[in-house]
Structures are given as C-alpha cells and as structure tokens.
Structure 1
Amino acid sequence: MASKLNPWRSLRSLAVRTRPSQPYHHAQSTIRAALPTGRRGLTNDTSIRSPPDGADLPPPSSAKESLPYIEPFADNFLNAEALAALEKAASGEDALSLSVEGLKYGMPTPPAKHEQLQDRHHPVIHQVTRMLMRDGKLSAAQQHLSFILNYLRTSPPPKVSPLRPLLPGSPPPHQLPLNPLLYLTLAIDSVAPVVRIRSLKGIASGGQNLDIPVPIDSRARRRMAIQWVLDIVTKKRSTGSGRKQFAARFGAEIVAVIEGRSAAWDRRQIIHKAATASRANLVHPALLSGKRKPRSKL
C-alpha cells in the first residue's frame, strides 16, 4: 500500500526496462545480462538476441557505422504502464490513485466526517437486523439476515397476485431474485400500512374516545410490516432442524408477501378499513374547536 508521505512507493514495481545501447563489440556477459526479460517473455522485441557461442563479433569501427539507432526503452506492456504512471504523476495527479486501475471493482469509498460506520448499510438492512436481534446478539442477527437474502436469491421467481398488487414501478417478478435486497424492500414496503389509528381519550361526547387516522413516516411503516412478518414467522413450525430454519421461514414468508398469500395483507386491510371508516372524525366539533389537535408524522 502506498504511503501518503511517499506516494512514489506505488511506482516501485513499475520499473522501466531499457535496451542495451552498447554495440556488439562489448563483453558478451554484458549483453546477456541486459536481456533477462526477453527469455521470460516479458518483451516482444525479437530484433536483439545474444550472439551464439563461438560467433565472430564485428569490429568496433564497422559496428558503430552499421548498427541502426536503438530506442532507449523496450516496447513491452510493463514499460508502457510505467511510462503512463510517470506521466500521470508528473502532471500533478495523485500517485495513490494509480493503484486503483488494477482493481476489478475499484476501491471502496471511505466514509466522510459526518457519516458514521453503521450508515454503510442500506436502511432496510439496518432496521431488519435490529429487529431480528435477540439478547443483544448482533452477529447472530446479521447471520440470519445473510441466510434470508441467500434464500431470496436462490428461490424461484414469485407469481404476483393481481388482487394484491405491489408498489407501482416495481420490476418484473422474474428479476427479483437477481437483487435480494430489492426483493426484501419491495415486500416490506408493499405490505406496510400507510396510516395508523390514533385514539383520543374522552374527547367525544359523553367522554368517549375518538379514533382518527394519522399518516406515518416510512420508518414506522416498515417497522409495523416487519413486526407483522416476525409474528407470523414465530408461530410457524420448522420443517427441519439447523440454524437456517428461522431464515428459511422468514424468507418463505417474504415470498408469500410478494405473492399475496401472507396474513400480513389481512392486517393491513383491517387498518385501512378502520382508517377509512374514521375519516369523518377529522371534522368532529371537538377537533374543530381546538380542544385537541392530532399530531401527525409526515
């Protein structure tokens, strides 16, 4: 790894290999020592070879006149990479960025000063992991979530029910196993309720409670949907044994949510029906008089 104090350490391996500029009348050992890369196949130069043993070398005077001009650098891919790196460094670019070109997927982006370490994950991954955690065992919850995503990735494409459609703009069902995170997010956001029922105590006539619908934010919506799925999963029986049984049951319930077979859709329908029936309470005289104002989370 290159040092910030000495960025030229990243160019240590990019050594420029030169061709011999001496004529053939010099010592034969000097010529053989200057061409070790040609025998290893690191250069495509075939014009310069060591003379065979016992061959007569040309005289010095005639060699200087007959030999053509030889460029100082051998034309191979190592020299081309080294020269390109030197040109970039000479132009003022960061020498540390030269090593990124050799990576397959590039270097990860380091977090900024205002970002924290737990923000490196997707919000759905972070929230589901915290809700799966029991007794403070975060590593066990992360392992469960890894098994759940692997179950969604290896499951066959689901069959979406037209009676319970998913969110508008969702990808085709046959593409969901290719992205298990999108698979999980789409299932949670589709079954999550849009509103919740808030009960105002003693505000109606005769000291009765008044139920009004209140919109909720996306994090609270996802929390309710994840809790519904967890309640259903904990009541199911495992079909086998092993540490992957909980992940298999949770993944199967996510597939059931996408296909419209999960009981979480019924709980969502109950809340929406109650919210539709209590819409008239929003114009109740007790609310309009200013005695009690409902608080909503947008």
Structure 2
Amino acid sequence: MSCKLTPRGAAAAARNLSIRTRLPHTLALQRIARSSKAPAQRTPFLITRRGLSDDINSRPPPPGDNSDLPPPPPQEPSEPSEVAAPGEYVPRPPEIFAQNFLNEEAIAALQKASEGYNVYDEEAEGLLFDKPEKVGKNEQLQNRYHPVVDQVTKLLMKDGKLSKAQRHMTLILNYLRTNPAPKVSPLRPLLPGSPPPSQLPLNPLLYLTLAIESVAPIIRIASIKGAAGGGHALEVPEPLAARPRRRTAIMWIIDAVLKKRGTGSGRAQFATRFAQEIVAVVEGRSGVWQKREAVHKLGTASRANLTHRAVTGAKMGRSAK
C-alpha cells in the first residue's frame, strides 16, 4: 500500500475522492428526467391570487390582465394652482387630524403651555386617594406624619432604632386593615361619635386613634409630699392634655404587650401582639380598661383634697403617680 505523503499516494487519494463525490450514472439520469417533467413555474403555497387581488389600495395592479380588478375611482378636477416664482416662500397647507380625544388633549395642552400655565394640572381629578399636602416654607419636615402615628412610633422605638419602629408601625396598621371588623362591647363603649365597627378596618389610622383615645385617662393623680400630715402624701387629681393622655394609654398598651407570651418567632411578632392588643381594647377585653377605671375611681375619691390648704395656698413639691 502506498503512503499518502508521497506524490503517488496523494494522487491515489485525490482519485478516490473524485470517484466518491461523483454521482452514479443511474441517479444522474433520474434527476434529468424529473427536471424535464416539472412545470416551468410554481406558485408558492401561502401566496394566493385572492389575497393579492383584494389588496388594491396598498398594492399596484399587475401590468398584465386587469379584467378582474374594479375600475379606479374617477378623480375630481383639481383647481389650477398658482405657480410660485423661484425663491418665493409657499406656506404649507395645514394638516387635518382625525377627531379623537388624544388630539383634543394635545391641542389643549399646547394652548395651555402657550398661555404660560402648567401643562400638568396638579388638581386634576382621577386620583384614587387625595394627594398629601406639601410642607410649607416655615414648617418642619417631621410634621408631615399624623401626630398619633408619630407618637406611637417614637414610643415603640428602642435603642434609637427608628427604622425598626417604623417597620413595626407599618405591620400594625396592615394587621388592623386586614383583620375582621371588631365587636364592640356595650359595657365599655368607644368615644361618642365614632363610626360603626364595620367601617374601622377601612381606615386603620382611625382604628388606632380611636382605640388609644378611648382608653386614655382624662386625669392623673399628683401626690403632694407630707401635705396629708404624718409624713403621708396628699393625692390630688389633675386634668391631662391630649398628648400626655395618649402617652399614658400607649405605655399601658406596651406594658400589656410585653407581658404577653409570644406564640411564634420572627421580627413581626411584637407588631402582631401590639395590633392584637389594639383590637382587644376596641372590643373591651384588654386589661388596660381596668387601669383606666382605677385611675378615674381614685380621682373621684380624692376630689375633696382640692380644697386642702396645701392646694389652695402655697404649693409644695409634687410627684405624679
């Protein structure tokens, strides 16, 4: 056997390759016979005469037979147009737009912008909720939050972690929104003028505010040291403003939440227990109501101390209970 590296071996390899790639004699005759029997022109399967003949507006008619096509519409005689002199400006005729609401809005916006007004109207209707009020020039940025939400968030904050307290506040409001409507007890009613319980989940902010304001005490018990004689303190009731009232109620609720036993794990457990305590306050099942009743009962019993000489005369040092 000859080697392929020699000239003789290379010639033998080229001869074998040409023999292998050459078609047999019988196959060549069969292909010639098929090509003679095939039609001269074939029409593609997807292109039909009907699809081309219907499209007369966007496709020009063929140059051959036009018997199947309808005659073109007659053209109206056009008015003789004046031929402009070379170099003379000829204004372009105005373009006629279709009558739809998009063109009308665009034309109205252009006219509004040409008159110097703002194109984007801030008071336009169509919003699902009202837009928040902008902070005034002399107002502080932190006052944009609701006072109750801001106060509860600051009291929930621990070790200066405000973002964590805000996350708890978000979970609390979301729980109140998704929880079923509460059942208010007639023995411990809410504030007069409050909406029906079925509407409270629709406004979780009102839900939270109503629970805190309903359980907040209206007085506090101040102690005047040594005024009762024998080293005993004299207890005197004092009225409270709105913010101290809410603070007392929130601290009572937080104490009740911390005393509760956790039912699971996760960073949302505290927020869930706090929201459950808010629901218990609205339904009258929370122990915070007993603290409020105890403070009011003690204030009613100590009303006689308001006429004491330590109160009406020179006031001594006090310590709130």
Shared fold, TM over 0.5: yes
TM-score range, shorter chain: 0.7 to 0.9
How far 1:165 moved relative to its partner? 0.8
Alignment: residue pair count: 242
CA-to-aligned-CA distance 1:227-248 (integer Å, 9 cap, x gap): 0010010111111122221111
Percent of pairs with identical residues:
58
> Alignment partner of 1:239: what SS?
coil
Residues 100 and 277 of structure 1: CA distance in aligned 2, closer, same or farther (over 3 Å): same
Give 1:53's aligned residue. Answer: 60
* Residue ranges of structure 2 left out of the alignment (5+ in a row): 1-55, 62-70, 81-92
The structure with more radius of gyration: 2
- In 2: Cα distance, 1:279 partner to 1:100 partner: 57
Give 2:193's aligned residue. Answer: 169
Tell me, yes or no, if the aligned pair for 1:161 and 1:260 is still in contact at 8 Å. Answer: yes
Give 1:280's aligned residue. Answer: 304
How far 1:112 moved relative to its partner? 1.0
The answer to whether residue 173 in structure 2 is matched with residue 149 in structure 1 is: yes
- In 2: Cα distance, 1:100 partner to 1:202 partner: 66
Q: Which structure dedicates a bigger proportion of its chain to helix?
A: 1
> Alignment partner of 2:226: what SS?
coil
The two structures, once aligned, show a CA RMSD in angstroms of 3.0
Aligned positions of 1:177-192 closer than 5 A: 177-192=201-216
Tell me, yes or no, if the aligned pair for 1:199 and 1:209 is still in contact at 8 Å. Answer: yes
Give 1:214's aligned residue. Answer: 238
Give 2:117's aligned residue. Answer: 93
How far 1:285 moved relative to its partner? 2.8
Tell me, yes or no, if the aligned pair for 1:196 and 1:271 is still in contact at 8 Å. Answer: yes
Residues 220 and 89 of structure 1: CA distance in aligned 2, closer, same or farther (over 3 Å): same
Residues 284 and 246 of structure 1: CA distance in aligned 2, closer, same or farther (over 3 Å): same
- In 1: Cα distance, 2:251 partner to 2:120 partner: 47
> Alignment partner of 1:150: what SS?
helix
Aligned positions of 1:236-275 closer than 5 A: 236-275=260-299
State the TM-score, normalizing by the size of structure 1.
0.72
Tell me, yes or no, if the aligned pair for 2:225 and 2:316 is still in contact at 8 Å. Answer: no
- In 2: Cα distance, 1:132 partner to 1:153 partner: 20
How far 1:111 moved relative to its partner? 1.2
How far 1:216 moved relative to its partner? 0.8
The answer to whether residue 174 in structure 2 is matched with residue 159 in structure 1 is: no
Residues 97 and 229 of structure 1: CA distance in aligned 2, closer, same or farther (over 3 Å): same
State the TM-score, normalizing by the size of structure 2.
0.67
The answer to whether residue 195 in structure 2 is matched with residue 195 in structure 1 is: no
CA-to-aligned-CA distance 1:23-56 (integer Å, 9 cap, x gap): xxxxxxxxxxxxxxxxxxxxxxxxxx96763586
Code of the residue aligned with 1:292 in structure 2: it is K
- In 2: Cα distance, 1:252 partner to 1:106 partner: 29
- In 2: Cα distance, 1:211 partner to 1:248 partner: 38
Give 2:7's aligned residue. Answer: none
The answer to whether residue 155 in structure 2 is matched with residue 136 in structure 1 is: no
Give 1:116's aligned residue. Answer: 140
- In 2: Cα distance, 1:211 partner to 1:127 partner: 29
How far 1:97 moved relative to its partner? 2.7
